[in-house]
Amino acid sequence: MSRFDCDITKDLLPLYVDSVCSKKSCECIEEHLKECNNCREELRKLRECPEIPVVEADMKKAVKNAGMRIKKGKKKVIIESVALALIVALLISTVTIYRVILNNAITEYNSYSNMEGGFTNETEIIKGKAVNKSDYEDSEVSLFVGEEYTLKVTEGEGEYAVDNIRFNLSDNKTIILVEPEYVAKDSMNNYLKGYIFPLARPFVIWGMKYMGYDADFSPGYDMSLFEYVLETDPPKPSFFCSVEEYSKAILYYSVANMSFPVASGNIVIKNLDYYCIGYKLLRNDETMYAFEIQSKDNIDKKYSFMFRGFESQEEVIKIISSLEIK
């Protein structure tokens, strides 16, 4: 081939290497390469030369877009980090408030329990034994005092038959049956306003709901809650616990702090058809026993008993266990 043929071949070699030549051109180039050492050397160099990538025509735009994506990513990370920090701060603040409220209730409970003559959390659980006989009976209740006593009953004036009944026994022993509270539904709002630290009020309501009680009425409406508090050890929830655990704990201490009298001992009598909670009271060197009774069939009916002059707690328990609410 002529010099002109070599020039043409060299011009076409890049296309040949990239396999974009026509079939006819490829045949001519290959025919020429058989005879021309210079062109074969040129082909070798082209094939050994590293491929240079094609750069985007709008590289500036591509770089700008990449920068914008990086900025957006950084902004998203910053926003998410700030949001997470705020959530953590809010969580810690909320839990701290919970803890302050609970600690306030616990401190009050401890101070009340440790004061001289104060509330005691020592409770005696007694299995009651019903007595199927009576020496006093009316339209509301029946009671068996005991054959060894001469029973004198004095009835006070009241709306119901059992209002203000005084049982005068021999040996200067007296039992007073205070009128039943047929309307004992003190509203929750009145209870909270009168007794409970403002920040603790929502937790008392939530605690009632979590435990299945009617939160429209005060905790004293259903004596099964009193029974639960007296039978259960004081709760000690961990710092990070559920709202339910905090609410139940605050309800527990609120009831313990506000609903029980100053007593030297508590009594819960079980296995009866009614709730029966008693308190051993020391007043002027005299031991008295006060009992609150609530019918399980009709919790609107509540009674109060006061025993005076009894030295034996067993005797008191025997008499109160004989009570039958009609």
pLDDT band at residue 38, thresholds of 50, 70 and 90? confident
Work out the angle between the directed axes of helices 243-258 and 201-210 (0-180°, nearest 10): 110
Q: Determine the pLDDT at residue 209.
A: 94
Q: What is the pLDDT of residues 155-195, one digit of tens each?
A: 665 444 445 678 888 778 888 887 665 445 678 888 787 77
Q: What is the pLDDT of residues 242-299, one digit of tens each?
A: 889 989 998 998 888 877 777 778 888 887 788 999 888 887 778 889 998 888 888 8
DSSP 3-state percent helix, strand, coil across the chain (nearest 5): 45, 20, 35
Average pLDDT over residues 77-92: 77
In the predicted model, is pLDDT for residue 55 greater than 50? no
Lowest mean pLDDT among 32-36, 72-76, 171-175, 176-180: 72-76
Q: What is the pLDDT of residues 137-155, one digit of tens each?
A: 877 788 888 777 777 777 6
Query: Could you tell me if 166 and 156 are in contact, meaning their C-beta atoms sit under 8 angstroms apart?
Result: yes
Tell me which residue of 236, 274, 233, 229 sits closest to 251, measured CA to CA: 229
Query: Could you tell me if 169 and 145 are in contact, meaning their C-beta atoms sit under 8 angstroms apart?
Result: yes
CA 324 – CA 134 distance, rounded (Å): 9
CA atoms within 13 A on the CB side of 279: 23
What is the token pair recorded at 29?
A: 């180039």
